Amino acid sequence: MTLPLRIAQLAPVIYPVPPGGTGGTERVVSDLTEALVAMGHQVTLIAPADSVTTARHLFAHPSLKALEARHGRVAPGVPAALEAAQLGLLRQHLDEFDIVHCHGEFAHAAVLGDRIGCSLTTVHWRLDELDRQLFFRSFPTLPVAAISAAQARDLPPSNLAGIVHHGIPVDRFRAGPGGRGVAFIGRMTDQKRPDVAIRVARAAARPIRLAGGIDVGNPGYFDRAVAPLLGDDAVHVGEVTDRQKQALLGEAAALLFPIDWPEPFGLVMIEAMACGTPVIAWDRGSVRDVIEQGVTGFVVASEAEAVDALARIETLDRARVRERFAARFTATRMAADYVALYRQQIALR
């Protein structure tokens, strides 16, 4: 009989786990934690105090968002202070775990010490920038799970422990009927290109609804590039709950995903698939990991190709799209894949 593992999940400090709205990383951490608990493992979630979980919960402070709601604008050093406190908590309890799964950026690697081999790190961001290159150069033995083959290509071979695609609970969304219009969900930023989505939908004579908050790091982009394109056939609805997302995606003919950056995964693609909604996505980053060409959507390279794909979108079987989601991208499958990597790392010690 295989014994359950003692697993720590170390979350970021910006949002609670799960997040109320924005916060894809925290949503993944929550879904993974709950799936591991359901599998019978002894899971400890180290996350902000305003998090909610069925696992054992250790915390040092509330999330940055909770502090901002309470105190207004906080000093720039507050996130670093929150992270330091949380990492101190991890250090106090480090010997209690068989494996520590870290979802942060950098500092945890220094705290792990000689337990670094009994850890796994998932980076929920691109890996091709200088800060990541310097980080992995400094910690060549840190085991890392890539979230797509595309992300893995930017990871030094000495760090790569394996590839685990994200997953969501199979019952979070249900297959929807589709419709004439199309959907876009993502931050209003030049990485996600909602302006391109509007142009494609308009060229295809289809209405579009766009969901997502305005990017705090690039607030002028929305006013400059998106707002002038809005109208009766292109409506921005802001951030959405899962219930609202179900309606937005389930009643759409397709999700448009016109990314302009090396997307490490793209959670909204599998959320659309869970609703039976095919995805028209630009051929960057993880897109080919997720989308099966001509089955769950179309991978394109230009606005013209996207317009052509929209003309053919009804040829795809929405029931088949949902089936492929259930076969490939559930939280249960994600948790099982991570457990295999946990045991692999433990066996190497």
**pLDDT average, residue stretch 310-334:** 98
Q: What's the CA gap between 248 and 228, in Å, rounded?
A: 22
Q: What's the CA gap between 86 and 111, in Å, rounded?
A: 11
> What pLDDT score was predicted for residue 122?
97
Surface-to-core class of residue 207, CB atoms within 10 Å of its CB (0-12 exposed, 13-18 middle, 19+ buried) = middle
**pLDDT average, residue stretch 1-12:** 93
**pLDDT exceeds 80 at position 22:** no
Tokens matching residue 245: 């997302």
**Tell me, what amino acid is at 327?**
A
For 31-85, write each residue's pLDDT tens digit: 999 999 999 999 999 999 999 999 999 999 999 999 999 998 899 899 999 999 9
For residues 269 and 167, the answer to whether their CB atoms sit within 8 Å is no
Buried b (16+ CB within 10 A) or exposed e, 158-194: ebbbbbbbbbbebebbebbebeebbbbbbbbbbbbbb
Q: Tell me how crowded residue 38 is: count the other CB atoms within 10 A of its CB.
A: 14
Q: Are strands 6-10 and 279-282 parallel, antiparallel or unpaired?
A: unpaired
For 263-295, write each residue's pLDDT tens digit: 999 999 999 999 999 999 999 999 999 999 999
